[in-house]
Amino acid sequence: MWQDKRVWITGASSGIGEALAKALAQKKANLVLSARNREALKALKERLPRSTQHQMVPLDLSQSEQLLTTLPSILQELGKIDVVINNGGVSQRGLFVDTTFSAYRQLMEVNYFGTIAIIKAVLPQMMANRQGTIVAISSVAGKVGSKYRSGYSASKFAVVGFMDCLRAELADSGVHCLTICPGSIKTKIAHNSLNEQGVAQNKPEHSIENGMDVDQCARLIIRAIEKRKDEIVIGKGLSYWAPTIKRFFPSLFNRITAKVHYR
């Protein structure tokens, strides 16, 4: 299903986005690669098979109002988008009482409003064509909450809720909506997580370092798209089982999260 399909990936310069780009390029998809780091995008593009078939659209998800203005003309040049994977985002590590309000706003701008702006831009053409796939990478933190992640979790809960609503609205449109909720995946997300002042903490985290391999995560995402799933959780260990535990044993889950101190 992927050959010559145009797939737009945000947050493509590293982590899950980079792994998806490599895997989909192998399947002969034509990629649109987006992230803030132009040089990282260029380096990735040059490493991919059929590199001349891929395009770069550097963008900053924190500037959602600007995206609403600039993306329509960019999409006219790109042409039809078959799949958009909203992967770009930023995490957080910090107690609520210590975290600045601006950090909370930054998390919502990137993780939620940035995703909304991308979907706003691409959805009209998908609806007109009565086909297409919208993928939003939320998080297990968008299903359950834990310490030190109140801003991140809130933004990812917002993505899950938005996608539930959008899926219902588009049920008869031919457009497929898929929500991905990864748990602990081996990426640089912990290094890039915002601290209480809204600055990257630049340090590793045990649960992430021992998480699922990012290439395996990418394969599971691609399989979910192919099978037209509505929502999937990806991960291993507690990060995978957390939503199930919360659903069936909420008091137990709350006791567990109160005792966990990793950040």
The closest of 141, 253, 158, 156 to 208, measured between CA atoms, is 141
Q: Taking the chain, what is the end-to-end CA distance rounded to the nearest angstrom?
A: 40
**CB within 8 Å of 194: residues ≥ 6 apart:** 90, 91, 92, 93, 94, 103, 106, 107, 151, 200, 201
Look-up: residue for tokens 């995206």? 67
Residue 2's SS3 state is coil
Q: Which helix (H) or strand (E) holds 30?
A: strand 30-34
- The residues assigned a catalytic role are 152
Print the SS3 string covering 119-149.
HHHHHHHHHHHCCEEEEEECCHHHCCCCCCC
Q: Are 86 and 116 in contact, with CB atoms under 8 Å apart?
A: no
DSSP-based helix, strand, coil % in the chain, nearest 5: 50, 15, 35
Q: CA–CA distance from 10 to each of 101, 114, 239 (Å)? A: 26, 10, 24
DSSP string, 42-70: HHHHHHSTTGGG-EE----TT-HHHHHHH
What lies within 8 Å, CB to CB, of 147 at 6+ separation is 95, 257, 258, 260, 261, 263
